[in-house]
Amino acid sequence: MKYKLIIDKNAEEEIIATVHAPSLLTQQIENLVCSFSGTDSIIGYRNDEMRKLIFSEIECITILERKVVAVDTKGNQYRLRDSLRDLEEILPSYFIRINKSSLANEHRIERFEAVVSGGVDAIFRCGYKEYVSRRCFAEIRRRYEG
């Protein structure tokens, strides 16, 4: 297999892959290209601070006290100005819905833990916990098993 990258600021961006047959790799490349929105970060606000949050450094985006909040890899919480629905459209495909009001970076989920009430919590690497709905957990299981 050959790989070639040409960086030309004057050319229109396009990605062309020549393959013998579709495969898991071609599907992953297609998903990556289609999910890329042209940006890899979003602005988060905390107290008097404004910070650029790289998508890969965000563990979870959730709604707390009627505000959209991003939790970073250190457990810090930043308020976001975009709605959860708008964020879902621009975030990479590795962000998955885990309940009605939360999106999780599946690369940052450390484990799933059963709780006494019969539900499941997602435990992130920074220690943050978020409830996983039954419907979303069933979809996550299918995704992991498939």
Structural domain harbouring 133: 41-145
Instruction: List strands edge to edge, sheet with 58-64.
Output: 49-54, 41-46, 77-79, 67-72, 58-64, 102-105, 95-99
Q: Residue 37: which pLDDT band, with cuts at 50, 70 and 90?
A: low
Strands 67-72 and 58-64: antiparallel
Q: What is the pTM of this model?
A: 0.74
- CATH number for position 133: 2.40.50.1020
Rounded to an integer, what distance in angstroms lies between the CA atom of residue 121 and that of residue 20? 42
On whether residue 128 sits in a domain, the answer given is yes
Residue pLDDT, tens place only, 80-135: 999 999 999 889 889 999 999 999 999 999 999 999 888 899 999 999 999 999 99
